[in-house]
Amino acid sequence: MAKPAPRPSPARPLPRFPRLAVVAWLVVALVVAWLLSMTLWPGRATDHINLVPFREKWPAIVCLAAGCSWYRAARSIVAIDLLGNLAVFVPYGAALAVATLPGEQRTPAGRHGRRWWLRIFAAGFCLSLGIELAQLAVPGRVTDIDDLILNVTGTLLGAAGIRFLDLALLILTR
């Protein structure tokens, strides 16, 4: 007599759309390749390390708000450094969220929420830290704590967008 197929454990729910998860993991890999190709080429900057959070960006934000003599440079710092580092990791967080969203046991309250968010955070942190450490060996690249903070924030924003859409669909389809 054949044994019945094992049921999935409640701790590890199956994804609702397994094919979507596979495609999402493929997108995660492509986004990681894109991020590495953008960040690990030799650049034109002076090699340096910044370990003081927002040392250069905060004065630029204040300059934009108050107006100052170096307004154009401040706008460039905010647009490229601040918003750019935030934006480039949003697709990573979104693809990672689609690939790892809890399946059948989802609830609007987010029963698996804390662990899931911690994993998203850890993935964004590890990728960004790896890039920043690798940039130490690449000529013309800057290793900056701001990049790490903004990249992780971008990862979380991308995941938050997908999580919001997923929960909205869950509520609307009940």
Q: Is the pTM of this model over 0.85?
A: no
* 8 A C-beta contact, residue 158 and residue 94: yes
Cα end-to-end distance, the chain, whole Å: 39
Question: Is residue 33 a contact partner of residue 110, using CB atoms and an 8 Å limit?
Answer: no
The owner of tokens 């094992």 is: 6
88 contacts 154 by C-beta, under 8 angstroms: yes
Compute mean pLDDT per 10 residues along the chain, 174 residues long, and list them: 60 63 94 95 88 90 87 85 93 94 58 82 98 94 94 97 90 87
